[in-house]
Structure 1
Amino acid sequence: MSENTAAGTSAAAAESAALPPTNRDLVPDDGAAKPTARRGRGSGLVRNLGLVVALVLLCVAGFVTAGDRFLSGSNVATILALAATVGILSIGMTFVITGGGIDLSVGSVMGLSTVWATTLATQTMAEDTHWLIIAVTAMLVGTAAGLVNGVVVAYGKVVAFIATLAMLVAARGLAEIISDRKTQILDVQAFKDFFGASFLGLRITVWMFVLVAVLGWIVLNRTTFGRRTIAVGGNPEAARLAGINVQRHTMYLFAIAGLTAGIAAVTMLGRTGAGTSTHGVLLELDVIAAVVVGGTLLIGGRGTIVGTVLGVLIFSTLTNVFILNNLSTSVQQVAKGAIIVGAVLLQQRLAARGTK
């Protein structure tokens, strides 16, 4: 065996060792690893099947309590439209949590992005050139905020909880300063026409969610970047010894969360036609809840885009059922809290079983 081949084999083995035992099934290996891979895929299918069953039961409850109103095409479209914004944010959050971090600022960053994208200067530029200027501005603002989070966490060695909590406050404050605490109406008609349109019965914003989810699944499950994300979340020190630049990778993960916040801001503008500092208030809680319920481990090292999408749909459907039955928001929050606690307890049980 040549030196280059030996070095490559050694690096691959080290990177595989960087993954926690429950995630080594994601690393291609020899025949001896195949039973583990089958067990990993099987447990993932069981988790997703449980989420599908929960979603179906919610739909049955919605039909029983609200009748044909729940199954109407307009109501289904409403559920999906409301899920789009939270769903896009949740895809970015899945990457961050899988990598061992957390981002509490995505709601505020989304609000800041809507405000910046609807300033008079931005709208004037969009009128003079193309409405895409508004969308690009929102995504750039979100990505910049995410990069700041990433630099502070990765290179400043600040705990992600504290760093993103600071961004939550700062982004909301900056949005209030820019907008003077006023709602900024979006007047670019071409933008509103595009995002107000439908394709195959679904709004463009829903298709944006679908596109982001598909791209997220491909990146997390079919690329080296996704493999390294799992390694960094599972064991950062082992990942570093395997040759992964953990600091740079962590910065990229928060940048992805910021980018999805910017994309979510575009969907919010398309749905409401206005930018305001109040957009996204406490939305990060719904996002984290959807990701956790979907099966992504809060301690990092395992993430699932399919589970996240199902988690988003479960919460959106639950909210819709409560609204159709005129139940108070207080009861909704209690139900969501119970679901979150149940999901975390299930995670702990599965994690404990995986270590045996």
Structure 2
Amino acid sequence: MSETLPTAAPDRAADLPAQSPPVDPAETAAAGEKVAHGGATGRRLSWWSGDNGEGARRNLGLIGVLLVLVVIGAITRSDLYSNPDWVWDNTLTILKLASVVGVVTVGMTFVIIGGGIDLSVGAIVALAGVWCTTVATQNFGAGGMIFTALTVGLAVGIVNGVLISYGRLVPFIATLAMLVAARGLAAEISDKQTQISDNQFINGIASNSLLGIPLLVYILAAVVAAGWVLLNRTTFGRRTVAVGGNPEAARLAGINVKRHTLMLYGLSGLCCGIAAVMLTAQANSAQAAMANLYELDAIAAAIIGGTLLSGGRGTIIGSLLGVIIFSTITNLFAINGLSTEAQNMVKGGIIVAAVLVQQVQFRSFTQFLGRNRLTT
């Protein structure tokens, strides 16, 4: 008879998972706080170094350019910059010089972000200025003159928008034709003569100040503030970026691209109407040749400020800094007695450099996205 040996019971403790050591709640809280703090810092660094922070970085670069120009002025004309009163007055002069072009540039920035271009802004300013200074219009007082200038600017901008949106004309061709037509109409209305503004309220816009700051600067600040809110805090601004970035995608998303484009050119014309009143106040008169080459100044300032020529990107503050930079250069050349030709060559070089920088940045960004897609 065989004897059955007892078998050993299986060791069930070996099948159980090993218990982790006890966790200290204080260490857990400290680790969580560290992760949260690191995450917040990472988000801040990501915002600064990412594509969203490009506008802030560019604006700081433009402020640096302004500081360099001030240093150059202090070195070349130390006798003037050593006088604080002169420095303050000169700063106000630069801001007054930038005010009219700055208002036009706000409208131009919206148009370029929306994927268009407007070569007729200078002619619209001239037409609105001439129309609001006719004898018949001046009989209605300052209100009638301002209303006429704004209405003419808005109406011509809407005509541009209709030709481009519904007439399917290329913006370059449509606004170039409007440039010639508006200048011709302004010359016809004024009979090629300079029209004097007799309204003291209109003339006082350029000569009067509030708290030591000219009214023209307040108007520029108000237009810039309104443009910033419209672009960054409203649906209109988001749609402008969408239409300029990809019109077909914007259309598929439910945006009426044609109507929105018309509104952009109407906004540009309205800014030209405001600028016409300001320029008329500065000269106490209006003529068909006024605001010559303002379209180039506005486009150049927008490009310097970071507005992408192909549309879909741009900032109002950057455009304002671009206008102030050009005005500072003009002032710097004037106080040093340099020629206008040299000034124009410097401006041209700055425009070319800005476009080249935009192309390099855009190409680098697209290559970065391509590498990320391949890695993924």
Q: Shorter chain as normaliser: what TM range?
A: 0.7 to 0.9
Q: 2:25 matched to which residue of 1? A: none
Q: What are the Cα deviations for residues 26-66 of structure 1, in whole angstroms up to 9, with x where unaligned?
A: xxxxxxx9997662332221111111100110111112112
Q: Distance in 2 between matches of 1:297 and 1:36?
A: 22
Q: 2:65 aligns with which of 46, 54, 61?
A: 54
Counterpart contact for 2:244–2:310, Cα < 8 Å? yes
Q: 1:277 matched to which residue of 2? A: 288
Q: 2:101 matched to which residue of 1? A: 86
Structure with max Cα Rg? 2
Q: Distance in 2 between matches of 1:325 and 1:194?
A: 29
Summarize the alignment of residues 131-150 of structure 1 with structure 2, pairs less than 5 Å apart: 131-150=142-161
Q: Distance in 2 between matches of 1:36 and 1:265?
A: 43
Q: 1:259 matched to which residue of 2? A: 270
Q: Distance in 2 between matches of 1:264 and 1:176?
A: 19
Q: 1:116 matched to which residue of 2? A: 131
Q: 2:330 matched to which residue of 1? A: 319
Tell me the amino acid that sits aligned with residue 328 of structure 1: S
Q: 1:18 matched to which residue of 2? A: none
TM-score (norm 2): 0.83
Counterpart contact for 1:69–1:75, Cα < 8 Å? no
Q: How many residues align?
A: 320
Q: What are the Cα deviations for residues 251-307 of structure 1, in whole angstroms up to 9, with x where unaligned?
A: 000001000000001110111110111111111111100000100000000010010
Alignment of 1:102 onto 2:117: yes
Greater mean alpha carbon deviation, residues 62-71 or residues 298-307: 62-71
Q: 2:12 matched to which residue of 1? A: none
Q: 2:245 matched to which residue of 1? A: 234
Q: 2:90 aligns with which of 35, 50, 75?
A: 75
Where does structure 1 lack aligned partners over 5 or more consecutive residues? 1-32
Counterpart contact for 1:91–1:213, Cα < 8 Å? yes
Counterpart contact for 2:138–2:145, Cα < 8 Å? yes
Q: 1:198 aligns with which of 209, 215, 218?
A: 209
Where does structure 2 lack aligned partners over 5 or more consecutive residues? 1-42, 368-376
Q: CA deviation at 1:353?
A: 1.6
Q: Distance in 1 between matches of 2:314 and 2:110?
A: 7
Q: What are the Cα deviations for residues 95-119 of structure 1, in whole angstroms up to 9, with x where unaligned?
A: 0000000000000100111100000
Alignment of 1:296 onto 2:307: yes
Q: From the superposition, tell whether residues 68 and 200 of structure 1 become closer, same or farther in structure 2 (CA, over 3 Å).
A: farther
RMSD: 1.5
TM-score (norm 1): 0.87
Q: Distance in 2 between matches of 1:51 and 1:110?
A: 28
Q: What are the Cα deviations for residues 156-211 of structure 1, in whole angstroms up to 9, with x where unaligned?
A: 00000000000000000000000000000000123223442101222111110000
Q: What are the Cα deviations for residues 111-164 of structure 1, in whole angstroms up to 9, with x where unaligned?
A: 1111000000000121xxxx1221111111001010000000000000000000
Q: 1:307 aligns with which of 297, 310, 318?
A: 318
Q: From the superposition, tell whether residues 232 and 120 of structure 1 become closer, same or farther in structure 2 (CA, over 3 Å).
A: same
Amino-acid identity (%): 53
Q: CA deviation at 1:73?
A: 2.2
Counterpart contact for 1:186–1:273, Cα < 8 Å? yes
Aligned to 1:72, what secondary structure does the other structure show? helix
Q: 2:140 aligns with which of 100, 106, 125?
A: 125
Alignment of 1:45 onto 2:56: yes
Alignment of 1:161 onto 2:172: yes
Q: From the superposition, tell whether residues 279 and 62 of structure 1 become closer, same or farther in structure 2 (CA, over 3 Å).
A: same
Q: Distance in 1 between matches of 2:210 and 2:57?
A: 33
Q: 1:172 matched to which residue of 2? A: 183
Counterpart contact for 2:100–2:279, Cα < 8 Å? yes
Tell me the amino acid that sits aligned with residue 74 of structure 1: D
Counterpart contact for 2:205–2:278, Cα < 8 Å? no
Q: Distance in 2 between matches of 1:36 and 1:246?
A: 33
Q: Distance in 2 between matches of 1:68 and 1:170?
A: 48
Q: Distance in 2 between matches of 1:194 and 1:227?
A: 34
Alignment of 1:287 onto 2:298: yes
Q: 2:355 matched to which residue of 1? A: 344
Greater mean alpha carbon deviation, residues 75-84 or residues 315-324: 75-84
